[in-house]
Amino acid sequence: MSLFKGVKNSRRFVLGYDLGEEVSQISFLASDSDLPETLSTLAGAEAYNIPTVLCKRKDVNQWFYGKDALAKIENEEGIRVDHLIEKARDGKRIDVDGTGYDPVSLLTLFIKRTLSLLSMEMSMDMVDAIVVTTRIMDARMIEVLSDVAGALSLPVKNLYYQSYEDSLYNYMMYQPEELLNHAVIACDYNFGEMTIYDMKLNHKTQPIVVTIDKTIKDDLALAAGGFSENLADKGAEKEKLDSRFLDICQEMMDGRIVSAVFLLGDGFREQWINKSLEFLCRTRRVFQGNNLFSKGASIAAREKVAPTDRLEKYVLLDGDKLKSNVGLMVKKQGQDAYYALLDAGENWYDVRNCMDIILELEAFIDIIITPLTGGEKHVHRIEFEGLPLRPARTTRLRLKIRMKAADKAVIDVEDMGFGELFESSNLTWTEEVTV
């Protein structure tokens, strides 16, 4: 039986798409599998990376992507177009071979071409959900990806976006539980900046609150984008890099217990982590790879379409997450009852709600805000100035709640009147609430 909702006796898939500025990856999770696989661009090999590059053949409207694009560029057969995410975020038209192009359209072209690689595994109408993950996930990135999704016109109804922090969290939820007894650290390095994700778990709370801090170390970047070809210089670079990374590791581990360390990215493929690796392997599990984020995104996709009990014990409260439960008290069968408007742990750009309420005689509502990170529960009162006086339970209001940032909710309220008894006053109120 399929693990996915509403699907029986058919193999279905979810995808995790890691959209990186330098390389991208696609992982998939089948309905009859427990763990995801990563798409390889070369049969029988772990060739997961798809260079996030396009190439336009000179004087011809013919485009190449990924490794084919790099080959054409090396042979001087075309014009290189890279930094696709950065250019799409910027939004300015870019000139390629004398013609101006919309950068979002070029990013769309790249994603469309890469998704075509899946044709050997599945057709897109077999996909129930896609989660796109990238290093920076903010309001502008959501806008760009939404435009891309609209242009792709995929036959996939469930399309989500999340940060690398989210993908690390989802990946860890499918790992052995002993790896979650203490902190987890992931280091992402491709010879440029090193990004370090520090995942902390507070086992004193129920559910267990997980936070992930991200820091960037820019003093490990190699100017040439890799080690020198000169053997003497290369040896010196490796030794210097190893010593600096050891300092970083010792600083991170000082006075705390870390269960596992993940070394991610092609920068760790070279044999340079000697002293630092010896230190890391003391009382810690150390893993090396480069497809954690795409796998984590595919796991997130499964959890969105077919939730399991793996995440019930935990809640992630990173920088993109709503950190408070938001609700209000209502009457249910004559008794006071709490009604949840927004739940902590959700990405702020994903959450919204709409509901109708009927007032007694009061001309206000109290929004209850309960932080999960500590602090006192508090109440924010919204007063409806000018609301017409009506008998009890004959005023219906429509509440729409949305987030404009991780700690800012916007509540729009509209007077709907009450059927044929009272027409709407057409009054509206908007309140911004810190949550």
Compute the chain's Rg from CA coordinates.
25
| pLDDT score for 138 | 86
The pLDDT value given to residue 385: 95
pTM value is 0.84
Q: Which of 226, 221, 248, 238 has the alpha carbon at shortest distance from 273?
A: 238
Q: For residue 359, what are its two tokens? A: 């007032």
The CATH number of the structural domain formed by 13-164 is: 3.30.420.40
Query: How many angstroms separate the CA atoms of 64 and 73, rounded?
Result: 10
- Predicted local distance difference test score (pLDDT) of residue 372: 83
Residue intervals of the chain classified under CATH 2.60.34.10 are 324-434
Q: Are 373 and 209 in contact (CB under 8 A)?
A: yes
- Distance separating the N- and C-terminal Cα atoms of the chain: 41
- Burial environment of residue 259 by CB neighbours within 10 A (0 to 12, 13 to 18, 19 or more): buried
Rounded CA separation 179/420 (Å): 61
| pLDDT confidence of residue 75 | 94
**How would you class 13 by CB atoms within 10 Å of its CB: exposed for 0-12, middle for 13-18, buried for 19 or more?**
buried
Q: Residue 164 phi/psi, 5° resolution?
A: -60, -35
d(CA 48, CA 42): 8
Q: What does the alpha-carbon distance between residue 140 and residue 130 come to, in Å, rounded to a whole number?
A: 19
For residue 207, what pLDDT is reported?
A: 87
pLDDT of 6 reads: 45
Region of 87 please: left (phi>0), alpha (psi -120 to 50) or beta: alpha
CATH number of 324-434: 2.60.34.10
At residue 420, φ and ψ (nearest 5 deg) are -85, -10
Where along the chain do the CATH 3.30.420.40 domains lie?
13-164, 167-293
Tell me the CATH number of domain 167-293, given options 3.20.20.60, 3.30.1330.60, 2.130.10.10, 3.30.420.40.
3.30.420.40
pLDDT reported for residue 5: 45
Q: What region, left, alpha or beta, does residue 77 occupy, with left being phi > 0 and alpha being psi -120 to 50 degrees?
A: alpha
Q: Residue for token digits 């996709």?
A: 301
Total number of residues shown for the chain: 435
Mean pLDDT of each 10-residue bin along the chain, 435 residues long: 47 96 96 94 86 95 96 95 97 94 97 94 94 93 94 90 96 95 96 95 91 93 84 90 96 95 93 94 94 97 92 86 90 85 87 92 94 86 95 95 91 95 95 93
The span from the CA of 385 to the CA of 430, in Å, is 11
- 260 phi and psi angles, rounded to 5 deg: -150, 150
CB 398 within 8 A of CB 349: no
The Cα-based distances of 290 to 49, 83, 170, 229, 264 in angstroms read: 9, 20, 16, 24, 5
pLDDT at 344: 87
